[in-house]
Amino acid sequence: MNYGISTWSFLSSDSGEKDLVKIIQIAKDNDFGLELWLDWEIDPEIFQKKNWTNLKTLLKDMKNLTLHSRLLYSSDEKVLFEEIDFCSFLGAELIRFSSPFVWISDRHRRLFSQSRRNRSCLGSPLSFRGICGHTIRKDSP
């Protein structure tokens, strides 16, 4: 069995630790896998493309590396495709999407937007076909 921690746990706890570099080291020191929460509100620039190479170095030899999309209540194809590219660049095993806008139909999106706190959500749903198409194009020689 493998164990892992999410960087989100540090954001939502009183652990005191909010430095991503230290959190990565905590995971490595305890032989845990790591889920990078891409909506890192403490330092929003940390996952920008200009920092990818440094992050890849920090995450070298990380077991069970996964990413969690920052698209929680909206859809943005450009952001999503950049996150897929980042996942591929890092060699991560998985990128998790929690947004219902990644998979739901227009009809269901309208119902969802009207039904709860999501009335202010903007954007159209992103289809898995589009996501897979982008991933295949990235992986093709």
Tens digit of pLDDT at every position of the chain (141 positions): 888 888 888 877 676 778 899 999 999 999 999 999 998 888 889 999 999 999 999 999 898 999 998 887 667 778 888 988 899 899 998 888 776 555 555 554 454 444 443 333 334 444 545 555 555 555 544
- CA–chain centroid gap for 121, Å, is 19
The answer to whether 72 and 66 have CB atoms below 8 angstroms apart is: no
What pLDDT score was predicted for residue 123? 40
What pLDDT score was predicted for residue 119? 37
Q: Which two tokens stand for residue 50?
A: 């200009």
Model confidence pTM above 0.75: no
DSSP letter string, 84-133: HHHHHHHT-SEEE---GGGT--HHHHHHHHHHSGGGG--SPPPPHHHHHH
Could you tell me the residue range of the domain that residue 123 belongs to?
4-139
Question: What is the number of structural domains in the chain?
Answer: 1
